A and B are shown apart, each in its own frame.
Chain A
Amino acid sequence: MTAYTATVTIRPKRGVLDPEAETTQQALSRLGFDVNALRSADRFEIDFDAESSEAATERAEEMAERLLANPTIHDYDVVVTDR
């Protein structure tokens, strides 16, 4: 078994409204920043052991599907690194 860190990034699907991101962008504008667009995402860093990097990726994807993301409104990506 090898120790891995899976970084799971969850973001709204393209076309799904993100009012929090819009509000944040407006706040940046009020502070004088010239911003064309702002997208926000949640990032989870998960440490666990797995047989291989492929197995670790598969496990992290399952975590995203079953809890971390809501597939109706989110896309996600997974990056696995050795620890």
Chain B
Amino acid sequence: MIAVVQFGGSNCDRDAVRALDHVGFDARRVWHEDGLPAETDGIVLPGGFSYGDYLRAGAMAARSSVMAEIRQQVEDGTPVLGVCNGAQIGCEARLTPGAFTTNRSARFQCEHVHLRVENANTPWTHAYEAGEVISLPIAHGEGRFEIAEETLSELNAENRVLFRYCNADGAVTDAANPNGSTDNIAGVIGERDTTAVLMPHPERATFPELAENGTDGRAILEGFAVADP
């Protein structure tokens, strides 16, 4: 059962459950104060504005009591996917390196972006090839990835960048960088590839009915089956 952890202010939790259900998983919303059910074998930290983005996006949720349980699951190799606010929470909780902060534009941006798959050898990108270009929607005000220079070198050396913002041809350019992220980074993995965070929304690009969004997010969600220990 994939637990979609709901905090006060989460607003993509239902979307995540619907999308995971569509892909064929048993997914449920779990209120953070209730803790993770024993049958949890996957975790989604969904998008939204947990705790009203007080202090910094994700800062409060990252210090909530359920995070100790999530941290243990991360260490055990349970697949954990943080999307948008969930990605901010993941970085704030230091499950993944770096930080997501205010967009270069200082505006909330809701648009479609192209992403280049950087490391295809993870559960989340197994369906793609390195260098392949996919399209997903973004919707965030604080998605600019920042990271200390030495940590960035490690990240690159260890091939832990999942996606980079790019143009339709796969070129990683400044013009294709929607929010000013360092090295156009849109998503990364943690110390184990079973933990991943990304700002774009795979759950919003899963239903064929939402034709405009495409269905490139589906394979990312299917990563839960690939990563299942």
Contacts and interface: CB of A to CB of B under 8 A. Distances in A.
A36 interface: no
B89 interface: no
A72 B102 contact: no
**Most chain-B CB neighbours within 10 Å: which of A16, A67, A73?**
A73
A73 B106 contact: no
B59 A67 contact: yes
A32 interface: no
A29 interface: no
A22 interface: yes
8 contacts: A16-B101, A18-B102, A19-B105, A20-B106, A70-B56, A70-B59, A72-B146, A73-B99
**Most chain-B CB neighbours within 10 Å: which of A17, A20, A68, A72?**
A72
A3 B220 CA distance: 53
B103 interface: yes
Contacts of A18: 102
Interface in B9-40: none
B55 interface: yes
B99 A19 contact: no
A17 B90 CA distance: 22
A18 B148 CA distance: 16
B99 A72 contact: yes
Contacts of A23: 106
Given A70-B99, A72-B148, A73-B146, A22 B56 contact: no
B98 interface: yes
Nearest to A12: B101
